Amino acid sequence: MGVHESHGPAKGMSPADAKATTQDNLVMAKWSQTNSSSIVSKRSVERLYYPDEPHFFRFFVNKFQRRAPLINRGYHLRLHVVDVTLRNFLRQSSPKRKVVVNLGCGSDVIPWQCWTRYPEDCRQSQAVFVDVDFPDLVKRKRQVVLTTPDLVSPLSGLKTEHNDETCPHVILRSDRYFQVGCDLRRTAALEEALASIVHVKECLFLFVAEVSITYMETEHADSLIQWASTIGQSEFCLLEQILPDGPDHPFARTMTAHFEKLSTPIKSVKVYPTMQHQRLRFESRGWSDLRLHSLWSAWNDGYFLSPEDRRKLAQVEAFDEWEEFALFASHYLLLHAKNYGEASAAAPEGFPCPELPSTKAPTTYKQLTGQHGLRRFGASMVVDDAFGRQSIMHCMGLGSATRLSSYDIYKPEGSSLDINVKAEGPSSRMCYTLTDLGHSTLLVGGRLSPSRAIKDCWRFDKDSRQWERTWDLPVPLYRHSACRLAGSLAALVVGGKSNEIEVSDKILVYHPDKGWLRCSVQGSAQPKPVFGAMLICSDRKQHDLPIFTGFLIGGMSDDGVIQAQLLAWKLEFHDDQVPTITFSPADVPGNGTVTVLPRLGAVCVQDHSRVYVLGGVGCNGVIPHEDEILICDLEGAALQVSERIIISTTGENTKVPRPLIVGSSIAYLQHGEVVILGGGATCFSMGTFWTRGTYTLAVDSTRHERSQPYPSPSPRRWEFSRSGEIVSRPPESAYALDNDQKQPAQIKPIPRIKVASKETFEDIIQKGLPVVMEGVDLGPCRNKWTLKYLTEQIGEDRKIVVHESSVESMDFNAKNFRYTNMTFGDFSKKVENGARVYLRALSAEAPADQPARLDQDFPAVASDFLLPRELSTCVENMHSSVLRMSGPVNMWLHYDVLANVYCQISGTKRLLLFPPSDVIHLGFRPGSSSSSLDVFSSLRSPALARSHPWEANMKPGDVLFLPPLWPHTATLSSDVSIAVNVFFRNFESGYSAGRDVYGNRDLAAYEKGRQEITRIESAFGKVPADARQFYMLRLADELGQKAQGEN
């Protein structure tokens, strides 16, 4: 794209012209930024996807930046479809000379790529390449070309005069490559430039505009398109954005907002939002023969990519962002037009419109705040409390930055309902399945990265609300399809991926007693192996050995194409033989079911003979709003979409924003409520859209006649309640504990002693074991420190930061509490009234940079607290002294790297400590000094069976010596607790350099060791999964032996 070259308004210029010139300069500057970002992405594609040919984008990029796989795949597709258009243009038979004109060329390298890839075609067609853009940008490009041997060497007959007498707009000439600096709105000047380069009537032109002229005012872009149709025999290749489902689609909103934020709004899309609009745009401006594709339809079209071409791309880099890729590709148009030849018939474009009734279901929406609920590609389940009240548990998946090991609890709005979930369970993962088996829920597989699938499986017992390891899959799987076999405790699993390339052809049955049974596929109809399909069990015929029937719908095959298969299946069990499954084409009526139902990544919930299908992406990419939610009726081998469900955009007293049902989880509850949780997508390079709220649809299952209206009362709102961590069980204890380890952990009381001298205390430090020191003289604080006294001395209006919690057990990882600014007086009142608040004092002067010191932070009461001479080692090596006060709330399990003494001044407290060797059994994530394990509720469970807890019951005047690296947690056994914690250094060396405000920064050797682990993992990146696991486990075992002091 090109605009005026002027750098500022000229003297004597009219105000209107001066304003236009200023706007031109601003547009050029912003377009330059956009072009730079695009070229960096194209350079990333060039290096990864084209390793065996010369690279030219590298000369326009200062430093290589590897883009994310989604961006690489998207830019590869953009480059490829334009390249195919160029290749076929150069190869077509014509006596005329071929001329390729790149409108808004930026730093594109089309000429050099064509000379490299199609040298003979370029020679035979005498191809000429003309780059056109802003004069300043073209001059910069000329400078790069002339100073780069690999770019300038192919240019014979080179002329670089700054003042071209033939045409001043042509700033570089050679025999087959030209650069033109020109305002694209001045088509007469552009035509003059072309006439000075070639004999227009003797040439066949291809004008290329790859996301360039959309930044022009649309009337000027239209004029340019019309002008190009008058330049002899011409073709036009346009690639730019479209809005296939309107401007309110979440991807479309994110995309347009992105360009608006950059001050480079995409303008054509507002006037020509669909392919049909673009067709009419070109037809009305002199172009008779048109072919239009969305990039998604181009991806699926063998004209651009064969199945083998698509499969080969999987070998370049691991990729699993298929829904996001489909959303991106659906929002870009490739148009190829000719002004010669026969007029093309208008192919059907856009989405098919089956004859289906639509109904707006009553909908409620509850917005989420902050980062709560941001979760994709997890799964949810409904959990009852002791009274049968339902909560929704949304587990693991992908968060805003990484995979999550946590879960979110949702409850009806305003309810006080809370459920206690045992912490220990499966490790972090995404793209797994949860299948309701009645009294338990089955978790199957999942993945870490696309190349690292998981085979372990778990059962969540709904009564005890704890996870139990069950039979491992025979092969690791993710993005598989799973369903319960009706009325049984078994589940069927079909397809899925076992790594970034392979799609599983296995069909498996989970049997709780026998493990995984592989089915034998019978009959002539063999299903295509797919992942991300929908699997439904529709019926069960009761025989001695039951027969189950159902459907397999859609999914994506290994060549990256969503399959339109709709298959009925029949599963039969036989005595002492493998189960057999038979597939046949589903009985589908001609009402559009075939076109709207097959999809990738949809979620479905079943209620008897009715199935609700939500979201995903379809064979045509973006699913239009009216088809996003469907009701299907099942009867025998017949499958029929009976109704569309539309989410009302206005709910009770609130506007309901449109969700993006991709990566979402669905819960189906009593009273016919469908709840949508989470979801969203990375919208290419334009930002991430999150479905920030819960949507509840009333789809009453008793309403069997479509003529009946939906029930008028709005369904309940479901609100975020809290989060919790799922603590991964160590590998060595992953499946079963021996009989001894099924017994609860044995609690050891911490010895209580009297310290008579400094030497006695130093001996305690040397031994490194906890002790409670009794009868220690801590000064007058023992008698003085009450809430009233501290408030009077510190000051009622003194500002402090406290932890405020709505639950008894705080969890640092889940952040189920909030940091609240309040006055000391208000804090004291809350403690007095039994509120769950906790003060861990911070430095008054620099809370983010300096450790707390009682004498500096609370000088009015500091003199009341004294450590006796016997404990003077603490003072001599002091790091910090911290005032701690709390109401009835539990401190989370954590460890401190510094040794410390905990001095109980008022109230009583129970502390549990664990020796450092227990750390692998306590759910500490790598690099974290805090665990989400709720110790006090897990003492009688197998979760702590391998641990060795020590217990201290602290009363006023007790001082607990806490050795470094002993994990510990605390709970109140009185109404109020007041204490002082003194941290001190007892290692001669090894501490990490730099700031350590809380005394829990890990030792330098550990931080360095974690970096080495990352390097080791990277070194095994391309090793096959089994071999990687084999060798990394050997290394872990070797490290474990050294940790135990073995040679």
- Per-residue pLDDT of 473-518, as tens digits, reads 999 999 999 999 999 999 999 999 999 999 999 999 999 999 999 9
Which architecture characterizes domain 744-1001 according to CATH? Sandwich (2.60)
Q: What's residue 435's pLDDT?
A: 98
Name the band, by pLDDT with cuts 50, 70 and 90, for residue 712.
Answer: low
| CATH tag for 358-729 (out of 2.120.10.80, 2.60.120.310, 2.40.50.140, 3.40.50.300) | 2.120.10.80
Q: What's residue 733's pLDDT?
A: 37
Q: 3-state DSSP helix/strand/coil percent for the chain, to nearest 5?
A: 25, 30, 45
Residue range(s) in the chain whose domain bears CATH number 2.60.120.650: 744-1001
Could you identify the residue written with the tokens 């050797």?
Answer: 1005
In whole angstroms, give the CA distance from residue 962 to residue 754.
16
Average pLDDT score over residue span 35-63: 95
- Per-residue pLDDT of 184-199, as tens digits, reads 999 999 999 999 999 9
Q: What's residue 571's pLDDT?
A: 97
108's tokens: 């594109």
Residue range(s) in the chain whose domain bears CATH number 3.40.50.150: 15-42+69-338
**Residue 623 DSSP one-character state:** P
Q: What is the CA radius of gyration of the chain?
A: 34
518 Rama sector, left if φ>0, alpha if ψ -120 to 50, beta otherwise? beta
Query: Whole-number mean pLDDT of the chain?
Result: 90
The yes-or-no verdict on residue 739 having pLDDT over 50 is: no
The yes-or-no verdict on residue 375 having pLDDT over 70 is: yes
Average pLDDT score over residue span 571-580: 90
- Per-residue pLDDT of 164-191, as tens digits, reads 567 889 999 999 999 999 999 999 999 9
Are the C-beta atoms of 687 and 401 separated by less than 8 Å? no
Name the band, by pLDDT with cuts 50, 70 and 90, for residue 940.
Answer: confident
The yes-or-no verdict on residue 558 having pLDDT over 70 is: yes
Name the band, by pLDDT with cuts 50, 70 and 90, for residue 12.
Answer: very low
Q: Which residues contact 143 (CB under 8 A, 6 or more apart)?
A: none
The yes-or-no verdict on residue 32 having pLDDT over 70 is: no
In 648-717 the beta strands, taken as DSSP E runs, fall at 650-651, 654-655, 665-669, 673-677, 680-682, 688-690, 693-698
Q: What's residue 613's pLDDT?
A: 96
Q: What's residue 2's pLDDT?
A: 36
The yes-or-no verdict on residue 23 having pLDDT over 50 is: no
Q: What's residue 19's pLDDT?
A: 46
- Per-residue pLDDT of 604-625, as tens digits, reads 999 888 999 999 999 999 999 9
22 vs 383: which has the higher pLDDT? 383
Which pTM value belongs to this model?
0.81
In whole angstroms, give the CA distance from residue 320 to residue 478.
11
Average pLDDT score over residue span 21-26: 48
Are the C-beta atoms of 571 and 507 separated by less than 8 Å? no
The yes-or-no verdict on residue 61 having pLDDT over 90 is: yes
In whole angstroms, give the CA distance from residue 155 to residue 145.
10
Lowest mean pLDDT among 365-369, 606-610, 769-773: 606-610
Residue range(s) in the chain whose domain bears CATH number 2.120.10.80: 358-729
In whole angstroms, give the CA distance from residue 890 to residue 811.
9
Q: What's residue 1's pLDDT?
A: 38
CATH topology of domain 15-42+69-338: Rossmann fold (3.40.50)
Average pLDDT score over residue span 977-999: 89
Q: What's residue 354's pLDDT?
A: 67
List, edge to edge, every strand of the sheet that includes 481-484: 481-484, 491-494, 507-511, 515-518
CB atoms inside a 10 Å sphere around CB 705: 5
Average pLDDT score over residue span 253-275: 96
Name the band, by pLDDT with cuts 50, 70 and 90, for residue 816.
Answer: confident
Q: Is 561 exposed, middle or buried (0-12, 13-18, 19+ CB in 10 A)?
A: middle
The bridge status of strand 688-690 relative to strand 680-682 is antiparallel
Could you identify the residue written with the tokens 């539309």?
Answer: 646
The yes-or-no verdict on residue 13 having pLDDT over 80 is: no
Name the band, by pLDDT with cuts 50, 70 and 90, for residue 18.
Answer: very low
Report the share of the chain in percent with pLDDT over 90.
74
The H or E element containing residue 137 is helix 135-146
Q: What's residue 34's pLDDT?
A: 56
Average pLDDT score over residue span 915-934: 89
Are the C-beta atoms of 861 and 793 separated by less than 8 Å? yes
SS3 of 1007-1045 = HHHHHHHHHHHHHCCCCCHHHHHHHHHHHHHHHHHHHCC
CB atoms inside a 10 Å sphere around CB 613: 25
- Per-residue pLDDT of 628-666, as tens digits, reads 999 999 887 888 899 999 987 765 556 889 999 999 999
The yes-or-no verdict on residue 74 having pLDDT over 60 is: yes
The bridge status of strand 440-444 relative to strand 617-618 is unpaired
In 726-789 the beta strands, taken as DSSP E runs, fall at 727-728, 748-749, 752-753, 771-773
In whole angstroms, give the CA distance from residue 968 to residue 974.
19
In whole angstroms, give the CA distance from residue 224 to residue 459.
64
The yes-or-no verdict on residue 704 having pLDDT over 80 is: no
Average pLDDT score over residue span 78-104: 97
Q: Which residues contact 16 (CB under 8 A, 6 or more apart)?
A: none
Name the band, by pLDDT with cuts 50, 70 and 90, for residue 999.
Answer: confident
The yes-or-no verdict on residue 9 having pLDDT over 50 is: no
- Per-residue pLDDT of 307-338, as tens digits, reads 999 999 999 999 999 999 999 999 999 999 99
The H or E element containing residue 955 is none
Q: What's residue 729's pLDDT?
A: 59
Lowest mean pLDDT among 463-467, 606-610, 707-711, 920-924: 707-711
